[in-house]
Chain A
Protein backbone atom coordinates (compact mmCIF):
# COMPACT_ATOMS: atom_id res chain seq x y z
CA UNK A 1 0.00 0.00 0.00
CA UNK A 2 3.01 2.27 -0.29
CA UNK A 3 1.59 3.94 -3.35
CA UNK A 4 -1.83 4.66 -1.86
CA UNK A 5 -2.51 8.37 -1.43
CA UNK A 6 -1.89 9.55 2.09
CA UNK A 7 -5.02 9.73 4.17
CA UNK A 8 -5.81 13.20 5.48
CA UNK A 9 -5.08 13.63 9.17
CA UNK A 10 -8.53 14.94 9.98
CA UNK A 11 -11.56 12.72 9.68
CA UNK A 12 -13.61 15.60 8.24
CA UNK A 13 -12.05 18.41 6.21
CA UNK A 14 -12.69 21.98 7.31
CA UNK A 15 -14.79 22.71 4.21
CA UNK A 16 -16.97 19.68 4.92
CA UNK A 17 -17.50 20.70 8.53
CA UNK A 18 -18.40 24.32 7.80
CA UNK A 19 -20.75 23.27 5.05
CA UNK A 20 -22.38 20.60 7.22
CA UNK A 21 -23.49 23.10 9.85
CA UNK A 22 -24.31 25.97 7.48
CA UNK A 23 -26.34 23.52 5.44
CA UNK A 24 -28.16 22.23 8.51
CA UNK A 25 -29.31 25.77 9.30
CA UNK A 26 -30.22 26.73 5.74
CA UNK A 27 -32.04 23.47 4.93
CA UNK A 28 -33.99 23.65 8.19
CA UNK A 29 -35.06 27.23 7.47
CA UNK A 30 -35.87 26.41 3.85
CA UNK A 31 -37.90 23.35 4.83
CA UNK A 32 -39.92 25.10 7.54
CA UNK A 33 -40.55 28.29 5.55
CA UNK A 34 -41.41 26.02 2.60
CA UNK A 35 -44.12 24.34 4.68
CA UNK A 36 -45.56 27.81 5.39
CA UNK A 37 -45.53 28.57 1.64
CA UNK A 38 -47.19 25.21 0.96
CA UNK A 39 -50.07 26.25 3.24
CA UNK A 40 -50.89 29.07 0.79
CA UNK A 41 -51.97 26.55 -1.84
CA UNK A 42 -52.04 22.92 -0.76
CA UNK A 43 -52.66 21.28 -4.12
CA UNK A 44 -49.97 19.88 -6.41
CA UNK A 45 -50.24 19.48 -10.17
CA UNK A 46 -48.31 18.08 -13.13
CA UNK A 47 -47.57 20.00 -16.31
CA UNK A 48 -47.55 23.74 -16.92
CA UNK A 49 -50.67 24.80 -15.10
CA UNK A 50 -53.26 23.82 -12.49
CA UNK A 51 -55.41 25.73 -10.01
CA UNK A 52 -58.45 23.65 -9.06
CA UNK A 53 -59.06 20.39 -7.20
CA UNK A 54 -59.88 18.55 -10.42
CA UNK A 55 -56.39 19.27 -11.83
CA UNK A 56 -54.48 18.15 -8.74
CA UNK A 57 -52.70 14.86 -8.17
CA UNK A 58 -52.29 15.51 -4.46
CA UNK A 59 -53.69 17.72 -1.74
CA UNK A 60 -51.20 17.95 1.09
CA UNK A 61 -52.17 18.60 4.74
CA UNK A 62 -52.04 22.03 6.32
CA UNK A 63 -48.80 22.21 8.29
CA UNK A 64 -49.14 23.44 11.90
CA UNK A 65 -47.47 26.61 13.21
CA UNK A 66 -44.79 24.78 15.20
CA UNK A 67 -43.49 23.24 11.97
CA UNK A 68 -43.32 26.49 9.99
CA UNK A 69 -41.26 29.67 9.80
CA UNK A 70 -42.63 32.07 10.84
CA UNK A 71 -44.74 30.20 13.40
CA UNK A 72 -47.99 31.67 12.03
CA UNK A 73 -49.32 31.76 8.48
CA UNK A 74 -47.57 34.49 6.52
CA UNK A 75 -46.84 33.85 2.87
CA UNK A 76 -44.95 37.14 2.57
CA UNK A 77 -42.61 36.55 5.55
CA UNK A 78 -42.10 32.87 4.67
CA UNK A 79 -41.11 33.85 1.12
CA UNK A 80 -38.60 36.37 2.49
CA UNK A 81 -36.94 33.66 4.59
CA UNK A 82 -37.10 31.11 1.79
CA UNK A 83 -35.63 33.28 -0.94
CA UNK A 84 -32.87 34.64 1.28
CA UNK A 85 -31.72 31.27 2.59
CA UNK A 86 -31.91 29.79 -0.88
CA UNK A 87 -28.78 31.86 -1.52
CA UNK A 88 -27.01 30.49 1.55
CA UNK A 89 -28.03 26.98 0.54
CA UNK A 90 -27.05 27.22 -3.14
CA UNK A 91 -23.78 29.10 -2.67
CA UNK A 92 -22.88 26.85 0.28
CA UNK A 93 -23.38 23.75 -1.86
CA UNK A 94 -21.32 25.24 -4.66
CA UNK A 95 -18.40 26.12 -2.37
CA UNK A 96 -18.56 22.67 -0.72
CA UNK A 97 -18.55 20.94 -4.11
CA UNK A 98 -15.51 22.89 -5.25
CA UNK A 99 -13.64 22.16 -2.02
CA UNK A 100 -14.62 18.47 -2.09
CA UNK A 101 -13.35 18.10 -5.63
CA UNK A 102 -10.11 19.85 -4.72
CA UNK A 103 -9.39 17.93 -1.53
CA UNK A 104 -10.38 14.61 -3.09
CA UNK A 105 -13.30 13.96 -0.74
CA UNK A 106 -15.68 13.06 -3.56
CA UNK A 107 -13.24 10.79 -5.34
CA UNK A 108 -11.78 9.15 -2.25
CA UNK A 109 -14.89 8.77 -0.10
CA UNK A 110 -18.11 9.23 -2.05
CA UNK A 111 -17.76 7.72 -5.49
CA UNK A 112 -18.53 4.00 -5.54
CA UNK A 113 -16.31 1.55 -7.35
CA UNK A 114 -17.74 -1.00 -9.74
CA UNK A 115 -16.86 -3.89 -7.40
CA UNK A 116 -19.02 -2.37 -4.68
CA UNK A 117 -22.12 -2.85 -6.84
CA UNK A 118 -21.85 -6.65 -6.61
CA UNK A 119 -25.11 -7.95 -5.09
CA UNK A 120 -23.09 -9.88 -2.49
CA UNK A 121 -21.43 -6.68 -1.29
CA UNK A 122 -24.71 -4.74 -1.18
CA UNK A 123 -26.42 -7.57 0.69
CA UNK A 124 -23.53 -7.79 3.13
CA UNK A 125 -23.82 -4.06 3.78
CA UNK A 126 -27.55 -4.24 4.40
CA UNK A 127 -27.09 -7.16 6.84
CA UNK A 128 -24.41 -5.31 8.76
CA UNK A 129 -26.67 -2.24 8.99
CA UNK A 130 -29.55 -4.33 10.31
CA UNK A 131 -27.21 -5.68 13.00
CA UNK A 132 -26.31 -2.07 13.85
CA UNK A 133 -22.73 -2.87 13.04
CA UNK A 134 -21.30 0.27 11.46
CA UNK A 135 -17.65 -0.70 11.61
CA UNK A 136 -16.08 -0.95 8.20
CA UNK A 137 -12.45 -1.37 7.37
CA UNK A 138 -10.48 0.46 4.75
CA UNK A 139 -12.77 3.04 3.20
CA UNK A 140 -14.39 5.85 5.13
CA UNK A 141 -17.94 5.09 4.06
CA UNK A 142 -19.60 1.77 3.31
CA UNK A 143 -21.60 1.19 0.16
CA UNK A 144 -24.99 2.31 1.49
CA UNK A 145 -23.48 5.48 2.94
CA UNK A 146 -21.80 6.33 -0.33
CA UNK A 147 -25.02 5.84 -2.26
CA UNK A 148 -27.11 7.82 0.22
CA UNK A 149 -24.69 10.73 0.50
CA UNK A 150 -23.98 10.97 -3.20
CA UNK A 151 -27.68 10.79 -4.13
CA UNK A 152 -28.39 13.63 -1.73
CA UNK A 153 -25.43 15.77 -2.78
CA UNK A 154 -25.54 15.21 -6.53
CA UNK A 155 -29.25 14.65 -7.08
CA UNK A 156 -31.63 15.90 -4.38
CA UNK A 157 -29.88 19.13 -3.42
CA UNK A 158 -29.33 20.30 -7.02
CA UNK A 159 -32.91 19.31 -7.87
CA UNK A 160 -34.17 21.55 -5.07
CA UNK A 161 -32.19 24.46 -6.49
CA UNK A 162 -33.20 23.98 -10.12
CA UNK A 163 -36.89 23.28 -9.50
CA UNK A 164 -36.91 26.33 -7.22
CA UNK A 165 -35.45 28.46 -10.00
CA UNK A 166 -38.09 27.23 -12.45
CA UNK A 167 -40.81 28.62 -10.18
CA UNK A 168 -39.42 32.15 -10.52
CA UNK A 169 -41.08 33.87 -13.50
CA UNK A 170 -38.21 36.37 -13.80
CA UNK A 171 -35.67 33.55 -13.89
CA UNK A 172 -37.79 31.63 -16.37
CA UNK A 173 -37.84 34.56 -18.80
CA UNK A 174 -34.04 34.37 -18.89
CA UNK A 175 -33.67 30.58 -18.86
CA UNK A 176 -36.90 29.16 -20.32
CA UNK A 177 -35.24 25.81 -21.18
CA UNK A 178 -35.01 25.00 -17.48
CA UNK A 179 -38.81 24.86 -17.24
CA UNK A 180 -38.98 22.48 -20.20
CA UNK A 181 -36.49 20.08 -18.59
CA UNK A 182 -38.90 19.56 -15.69
CA UNK A 183 -42.01 19.38 -17.87
CA UNK A 184 -43.59 22.67 -16.80
CA UNK A 185 -43.78 24.95 -13.80
CA UNK A 186 -46.33 22.93 -11.87
CA UNK A 187 -44.32 19.74 -12.40
CA UNK A 188 -41.26 21.55 -11.05
CA UNK A 189 -43.31 22.64 -8.03
CA UNK A 190 -44.39 19.03 -7.41
CA UNK A 191 -40.81 17.75 -7.75
CA UNK A 192 -39.64 20.51 -5.39
CA UNK A 193 -42.14 19.30 -2.80
CA UNK A 194 -41.29 15.59 -3.24
CA UNK A 195 -37.54 16.22 -3.00
CA UNK A 196 -38.04 18.36 0.13
CA UNK A 197 -39.67 15.38 1.86
CA UNK A 198 -37.02 12.98 0.58
CA UNK A 199 -34.45 15.28 2.18
CA UNK A 200 -36.44 15.21 5.39
CA UNK A 201 -36.42 11.41 5.21
CA UNK A 202 -32.66 11.48 4.71
CA UNK A 203 -32.31 13.76 7.74
CA UNK A 204 -34.30 11.34 9.91
CA UNK A 205 -32.24 8.30 8.83
CA UNK A 206 -29.01 10.30 9.15
CA UNK A 207 -29.83 11.43 12.70
CA UNK A 208 -30.98 7.96 13.78
CA UNK A 209 -27.76 6.40 12.49
CA UNK A 210 -25.67 9.05 14.23
CA UNK A 211 -27.53 8.30 17.46
CA UNK A 212 -26.85 4.58 17.02
CA UNK A 213 -23.15 5.00 16.29
CA UNK A 214 -21.82 7.07 19.18
CA UNK A 215 -23.49 10.46 18.80
CA UNK A 216 -21.12 12.38 21.09
CA UNK A 217 -18.04 11.37 19.10
CA UNK A 218 -19.80 11.88 15.76
CA UNK A 219 -20.92 15.39 16.62
CA UNK A 220 -17.56 16.28 18.18
CA UNK A 221 -15.72 15.12 15.07
CA UNK A 222 -18.02 17.10 12.80
CA UNK A 223 -17.01 20.18 14.81
CA UNK A 224 -13.30 19.63 15.47
CA UNK A 225 -12.55 17.44 12.48
CA UNK A 226 -11.52 14.46 14.60
CA UNK A 227 -8.55 12.24 13.81
CA UNK A 228 -8.51 9.75 11.04
CA UNK A 229 -6.79 6.89 12.87
CA UNK A 230 -9.54 6.55 15.45
CA UNK A 231 -12.18 6.35 12.75
CA UNK A 232 -11.97 2.81 11.46
Chain B
Protein backbone atom coordinates (compact mmCIF):
# COMPACT_ATOMS: atom_id res chain seq x y z
CA UNK B 1 0.00 0.00 0.00
CA UNK B 2 2.87 2.31 0.82
CA UNK B 3 4.29 1.97 -2.65
CA UNK B 4 0.90 2.74 -4.15
CA UNK B 5 0.60 5.87 -2.06
CA UNK B 6 4.06 6.87 -3.23
CA UNK B 7 3.05 6.47 -6.88
CA UNK B 8 -0.20 8.40 -6.36
CA UNK B 9 1.88 11.09 -4.65
CA UNK B 10 4.26 11.30 -7.61
CA UNK B 11 1.30 11.57 -9.97
CA UNK B 12 -0.32 14.34 -7.93
CA UNK B 13 2.96 16.25 -7.66
CA UNK B 14 3.43 15.95 -11.43
CA UNK B 15 -0.05 17.35 -12.11
CA UNK B 16 0.40 20.15 -9.56
CA UNK B 17 3.76 20.99 -11.16
CA UNK B 18 2.18 21.09 -14.60
CA UNK B 19 -0.52 23.44 -13.33
CA UNK B 20 2.10 25.68 -11.69
CA UNK B 21 4.14 25.81 -14.91
CA UNK B 22 1.07 26.22 -17.12
CA UNK B 23 -0.02 29.29 -15.14
CA UNK B 24 3.43 30.90 -15.12
CA UNK B 25 4.49 33.91 -17.17
CA UNK B 26 7.62 32.25 -18.50
CA UNK B 27 5.67 29.30 -19.87
CA UNK B 28 3.40 31.73 -21.70
CA UNK B 29 6.45 33.56 -23.03
CA UNK B 30 7.99 30.27 -24.19
CA UNK B 31 4.79 29.26 -25.97
CA UNK B 32 4.67 32.65 -27.71
CA UNK B 33 8.29 32.28 -28.79
CA UNK B 34 7.62 28.80 -30.16
CA UNK B 35 4.69 30.24 -32.13
CA UNK B 36 7.14 32.55 -33.89
CA UNK B 37 9.45 29.63 -34.70
CA UNK B 38 6.60 27.64 -36.18
CA UNK B 39 5.60 30.46 -38.49
CA UNK B 40 9.23 30.92 -39.57
CA UNK B 41 9.89 27.21 -40.04
CA UNK B 42 6.71 26.59 -42.03
CA UNK B 43 7.60 29.46 -44.35
CA UNK B 44 11.23 28.32 -44.65
CA UNK B 45 10.46 24.66 -45.44
CA UNK B 46 8.60 25.65 -48.57
CA UNK B 47 11.87 27.01 -50.02
CA UNK B 48 11.98 28.14 -53.61
CA UNK B 49 8.22 28.38 -54.07
CA UNK B 50 5.16 29.82 -52.42
CA UNK B 51 3.92 27.08 -50.09
CA UNK B 52 0.37 26.30 -51.16
CA UNK B 53 -2.36 24.46 -49.31
CA UNK B 54 -3.36 21.32 -51.22
CA UNK B 55 -6.23 21.74 -53.65
CA UNK B 56 -8.65 18.94 -54.41
CA UNK B 57 -10.79 17.86 -57.30
CA UNK B 58 -14.38 19.14 -57.41
CA UNK B 59 -15.56 15.54 -56.94
CA UNK B 60 -13.94 15.41 -53.49
CA UNK B 61 -16.15 18.12 -51.98
CA UNK B 62 -17.89 17.08 -48.71
CA UNK B 63 -21.66 16.44 -49.01
CA UNK B 64 -22.31 19.55 -46.94
CA UNK B 65 -20.12 22.06 -45.12
CA UNK B 66 -20.30 22.15 -41.36
CA UNK B 67 -20.86 25.52 -39.68
CA UNK B 68 -19.21 26.24 -36.33
CA UNK B 69 -18.85 29.22 -33.99
CA UNK B 70 -21.18 32.00 -35.15
CA UNK B 71 -23.91 30.53 -37.34
CA UNK B 72 -25.61 33.82 -38.10
CA UNK B 73 -25.58 37.54 -37.36
CA UNK B 74 -28.35 38.00 -34.86
CA UNK B 75 -29.86 41.31 -36.01
CA UNK B 76 -33.04 42.15 -37.96
CA UNK B 77 -30.93 44.16 -40.42
CA UNK B 78 -28.85 41.11 -41.28
CA UNK B 79 -31.98 38.94 -41.68
CA UNK B 80 -33.49 41.47 -44.06
CA UNK B 81 -30.22 41.79 -45.99
CA UNK B 82 -29.90 37.99 -46.25
CA UNK B 83 -33.40 37.71 -47.68
CA UNK B 84 -32.76 40.51 -50.16
CA UNK B 85 -29.44 39.05 -51.33
CA UNK B 86 -27.20 41.66 -49.65
CA UNK B 87 -27.71 44.55 -52.13
CA UNK B 88 -26.35 47.09 -49.61
CA UNK B 89 -23.50 45.02 -48.09
CA UNK B 90 -20.13 46.73 -48.30
CA UNK B 91 -16.56 45.68 -47.63
CA UNK B 92 -14.33 48.54 -46.49
CA UNK B 93 -10.57 48.51 -47.03
CA UNK B 94 -8.98 51.02 -44.66
CA UNK B 95 -5.96 51.72 -42.49
CA UNK B 96 -2.45 51.98 -43.93
CA UNK B 97 -3.55 52.24 -47.57
CA UNK B 98 -3.20 55.07 -50.09
CA UNK B 99 -6.81 54.99 -51.27
CA UNK B 100 -9.36 53.54 -48.84
CA UNK B 101 -11.97 51.47 -50.66
CA UNK B 102 -15.57 50.49 -50.13
CA UNK B 103 -16.64 47.60 -52.35
CA UNK B 104 -20.22 46.58 -53.08
CA UNK B 105 -21.11 42.92 -53.63
CA UNK B 106 -21.54 43.63 -57.34
CA UNK B 107 -18.03 45.10 -57.52
CA UNK B 108 -16.59 42.12 -55.69
CA UNK B 109 -18.29 39.71 -58.09
CA UNK B 110 -16.89 41.68 -61.03
CA UNK B 111 -13.28 41.41 -59.89
CA UNK B 112 -11.01 38.64 -61.27
CA UNK B 113 -12.05 35.48 -59.42
CA UNK B 114 -10.16 32.53 -58.01
CA UNK B 115 -11.89 29.19 -57.44
CA UNK B 116 -10.19 26.69 -55.15
CA UNK B 117 -11.27 23.35 -53.68
CA UNK B 118 -9.60 23.23 -50.28
CA UNK B 119 -9.83 21.46 -46.97
CA UNK B 120 -10.97 23.41 -43.94
CA UNK B 121 -9.44 22.18 -40.67
CA UNK B 122 -11.09 23.19 -37.43
CA UNK B 123 -8.86 23.59 -34.38
CA UNK B 124 -11.14 21.02 -32.71
CA UNK B 125 -10.00 18.34 -35.14
CA UNK B 126 -12.60 17.90 -37.89
CA UNK B 127 -12.15 18.72 -41.60
CA UNK B 128 -14.47 19.54 -44.49
CA UNK B 129 -13.74 20.10 -48.18
CA UNK B 130 -15.41 22.89 -50.12
CA UNK B 131 -15.06 24.83 -53.33
CA UNK B 132 -14.61 28.53 -52.65
CA UNK B 133 -14.79 31.37 -55.16
CA UNK B 134 -13.92 35.03 -54.80
CA UNK B 135 -11.33 37.69 -55.60
CA UNK B 136 -7.85 37.40 -54.14
CA UNK B 137 -7.31 39.64 -51.14
CA UNK B 138 -4.06 40.79 -52.77
CA UNK B 139 -6.12 42.22 -55.67
CA UNK B 140 -8.21 44.34 -53.28
CA UNK B 141 -5.14 45.47 -51.35
CA UNK B 142 -3.31 46.43 -54.52
CA UNK B 143 -6.32 48.50 -55.60
CA UNK B 144 -6.15 50.33 -52.27
CA UNK B 145 -2.35 50.67 -52.37
CA UNK B 146 -0.50 49.11 -49.43
CA UNK B 147 1.59 51.61 -47.46
CA UNK B 148 5.10 50.98 -46.23
CA UNK B 149 4.38 50.43 -42.52
CA UNK B 150 1.55 47.92 -42.95
CA UNK B 151 2.42 44.70 -41.09
CA UNK B 152 -0.94 43.05 -40.48
CA UNK B 153 -4.35 42.79 -42.10
CA UNK B 154 -7.21 42.95 -39.59
CA UNK B 155 -10.57 41.48 -40.59
CA UNK B 156 -13.76 43.05 -39.18
CA UNK B 157 -16.92 40.99 -39.01
CA UNK B 158 -20.64 41.58 -38.45
CA UNK B 159 -21.08 38.66 -36.06
CA UNK B 160 -21.07 39.08 -32.33
CA UNK B 161 -20.19 36.07 -30.19
CA UNK B 162 -20.74 36.19 -26.42
CA UNK B 163 -20.98 39.99 -26.50
CA UNK B 164 -17.82 40.60 -28.51
CA UNK B 165 -17.45 41.38 -32.20
CA UNK B 166 -15.57 38.67 -34.07
CA UNK B 167 -12.35 39.77 -35.71
CA UNK B 168 -9.17 38.16 -36.94
CA UNK B 169 -5.80 39.14 -38.38
CA UNK B 170 -2.85 37.77 -40.34
CA UNK B 171 0.58 38.93 -41.46
CA UNK B 172 1.15 40.49 -44.89
CA UNK B 173 2.73 37.29 -46.22
CA UNK B 174 -0.57 35.46 -45.69
CA UNK B 175 -2.64 38.48 -46.78
CA UNK B 176 -0.85 38.59 -50.16
CA UNK B 177 -0.83 34.79 -50.59
CA UNK B 178 -2.49 33.63 -53.85
CA UNK B 179 -4.93 31.34 -52.02
CA UNK B 180 -6.10 34.06 -49.63
CA UNK B 181 -9.43 35.04 -51.14
CA UNK B 182 -12.59 36.85 -50.09
CA UNK B 183 -15.10 34.12 -50.90
CA UNK B 184 -18.70 34.85 -51.84
CA UNK B 185 -19.48 31.41 -53.32
CA UNK B 186 -19.32 27.99 -51.70
CA UNK B 187 -19.63 25.04 -54.09
CA UNK B 188 -20.82 27.42 -56.80
CA UNK B 189 -23.68 28.92 -54.77
CA UNK B 190 -23.97 32.12 -52.73
CA UNK B 191 -22.38 31.56 -49.32
CA UNK B 192 -24.86 29.91 -46.90
CA UNK B 193 -25.77 31.79 -43.71
CA UNK B 194 -23.93 29.34 -41.40
CA UNK B 195 -20.74 29.64 -43.46
CA UNK B 196 -20.58 33.45 -43.29
CA UNK B 197 -22.89 34.98 -45.91
CA UNK B 198 -22.21 37.10 -47.83
CA UNK B 199 -18.38 37.16 -47.48
CA UNK B 200 -15.84 34.96 -45.79
CA UNK B 201 -12.08 35.14 -45.80
CA UNK B 202 -10.17 32.00 -46.80
CA UNK B 203 -6.74 31.78 -45.19
CA UNK B 204 -5.90 28.30 -46.37
CA UNK B 205 -2.63 27.65 -44.54
CA UNK B 206 -4.18 28.15 -41.12
CA UNK B 207 -6.91 26.60 -38.95
CA UNK B 208 -10.62 27.42 -39.21
CA UNK B 209 -10.82 30.21 -36.64
CA UNK B 210 -8.52 32.27 -38.90
CA UNK B 211 -11.23 32.30 -41.63
CA UNK B 212 -13.55 35.08 -40.39
CA UNK B 213 -17.14 35.12 -41.63
CA UNK B 214 -19.71 37.93 -42.29
CA UNK B 215 -16.82 40.13 -43.40
CA UNK B 216 -17.39 43.91 -43.32
CA UNK B 217 -13.92 45.41 -43.35
CA UNK B 218 -10.21 44.92 -43.86
CA UNK B 219 -7.84 47.26 -42.08
CA UNK B 220 -4.07 47.34 -42.57
CA UNK B 221 -2.21 48.17 -39.37
CA UNK B 222 1.34 48.35 -38.03
CA UNK B 223 0.52 46.73 -34.70
CA UNK B 224 -2.24 44.58 -33.21
CA UNK B 225 -1.71 45.87 -29.68
CA UNK B 226 -4.51 48.44 -29.61
CA UNK B 227 -7.17 46.35 -31.29
CA UNK B 228 -9.73 44.74 -28.96
CA UNK B 229 -7.80 42.52 -26.52
CA UNK B 230 -4.54 43.07 -28.41
CA UNK B 231 -3.88 39.45 -29.33
CA UNK B 232 -5.04 39.69 -32.94
CA UNK B 233 -8.33 37.82 -32.89
CA UNK B 234 -11.52 36.95 -31.08
CA UNK B 235 -10.40 33.50 -29.91
CA UNK B 236 -6.85 34.67 -29.29
CA UNK B 237 -8.21 37.34 -26.91
CA UNK B 238 -10.89 35.21 -25.34
CA UNK B 239 -9.65 31.64 -25.25
CA UNK B 240 -5.89 31.91 -25.58
CA UNK B 241 -5.68 30.25 -29.00
CA UNK B 242 -2.43 30.89 -30.82
CA UNK B 243 -2.44 33.81 -33.24
CA UNK B 244 -0.38 31.81 -35.74
CA UNK B 245 -2.70 28.88 -36.39
CA UNK B 246 -0.55 26.98 -38.89
CA UNK B 247 -0.42 24.12 -36.37
Alpha-carbon distance between A28 and B13 when the two chains are bound, in angstroms: 14
- Which A residues, 181 to 225, have Cβ-Cβ distances below 8 Å to chain B? 185-186, 189
Among the stretches A7-15, A128-136, A148-156, A171-179, the one at the interface with B is: A171-179
For chain A, the bracket of interface size reads: 35 or more
Q: From B56, B127, B235, give the contact of A51 (CB < 8 A).
A: B127
B107 an interface residue at 8 Å Cβ cutoff? no
Alpha-carbon distance between A10 and B155 when the two chains are bound, in angstroms: 60
Residues of B within 8 A of A95 (CB): none
Q: From B18, B46, B207, give the contact of A174 (CB < 8 A).
A: B46
In the assembled complex, the CB of B2 is this many whole angstroms from the nearest CB of chain A, namely 14
Alpha-carbon distance between A174 and B247 when the two chains are bound, in angstroms: 12
Among the stretches A42-50, A97-105, A113-121, A138-146, the one at the interface with B is: A42-50
B222 an interface residue at 8 Å Cβ cutoff? no
Q: From B19, B38, B124, give the contact of A40 (CB < 8 A).
A: B124
In the assembled complex, the CB of B107 is this many whole angstroms from the nearest CB of chain A, namely 30
B123 an interface residue at 8 Å Cβ cutoff? yes
B161 an interface residue at 8 Å Cβ cutoff? no
| Inter-chain contact B52/A173, CB cutoff 8 Å | yes
| Inter-chain contact B122/A70, CB cutoff 8 Å | no
| Inter-chain contact B246/A170, CB cutoff 8 Å | yes
- Which B residues, 19 to 43, have Cβ-Cβ distances below 8 Å to chain A? 19, 22, 27, 30-31, 34, 38-39, 42-43
- Which A residues, 158 to 172, have Cβ-Cβ distances below 8 Å to chain B? 167-172
A126 an interface residue at 8 Å Cβ cutoff? no
Alpha-carbon distance between A167 and B121 when the two chains are bound, in angstroms: 9
| Inter-chain contact A41/B42, CB cutoff 8 Å | no
Knowing A168-B247, A170-B39, say if A70 contacts B19 (CB, 8 Å).
Answer: yes
| Inter-chain contact B246/A169, CB cutoff 8 Å | yes
Chain B contact residue count (CB 8 A cutoff): 46
| Inter-chain contact B128/A49, CB cutoff 8 Å | yes
| Inter-chain contact A169/B18, CB cutoff 8 Å | no
Residues of B within 8 A of A173 (CB): 42, 46, 51-54, 204-205, 246
- Which B residues, 52 to 69, have Cβ-Cβ distances below 8 Å to chain A? 52-54, 56, 60, 62, 66
Residues of B within 8 A of A231 (CB): none
Alpha-carbon distance between A45 and B127 when the two chains are bound, in angstroms: 9
In the assembled complex, the CB of B233 is this many whole angstroms from the nearest CB of chain A, namely 12
Alpha-carbon distance between A170 and B19 when the two chains are bound, in angstroms: 29
Interface-centre pick from B22, B30, B207, B241 (highest chain A CB count, 10 A): B22
In the assembled complex, the CB of B239 is this many whole angstroms from the nearest CB of chain A, namely 5
In the assembled complex, the CB of A65 is this many whole angstroms from the nearest CB of chain B, namely 9
In the assembled complex, the CB of A77 is this many whole angstroms from the nearest CB of chain B, namely 6
A17 an interface residue at 8 Å Cβ cutoff? no
In the assembled complex, the CB of A68 is this many whole angstroms from the nearest CB of chain B, namely 9
| Inter-chain contact B45/A48, CB cutoff 8 Å | no
Chain B residues with CB under 8 Å of chain A are: 14-15, 18-19, 22, 27, 30-31, 34, 38-39, 42-43, 45-46, 51-54, 56, 60, 62, 66, 119, 121-129, 204-207, 235, 239-242, 244-247
Please give me the 5 A-B residue pairs with the lowest Cβ-Cβ distance, nearest first. Answer: A170-B246, A170-B42, A41-B125, A174-B45, A51-B126
Q: 17 extra interchain contacts, Cβ-Cβ under 8 A, other than A75-B123, A173-B205, A174-B46?
A: A28-B14, A41-B122, A45-B126, A49-B126, A49-B127, A71-B18, A79-B247, A83-B31, A83-B247, A168-B38, A168-B247, A169-B121, A170-B51, A171-B247, A172-B53, A173-B53, A185-B121
Chain A residues with CB under 8 Å of chain B are: 28-29, 37-38, 40-41, 43, 45, 48-52, 66, 69-71, 74-77, 79-81, 83-84, 87, 167-176, 179, 185-186, 189
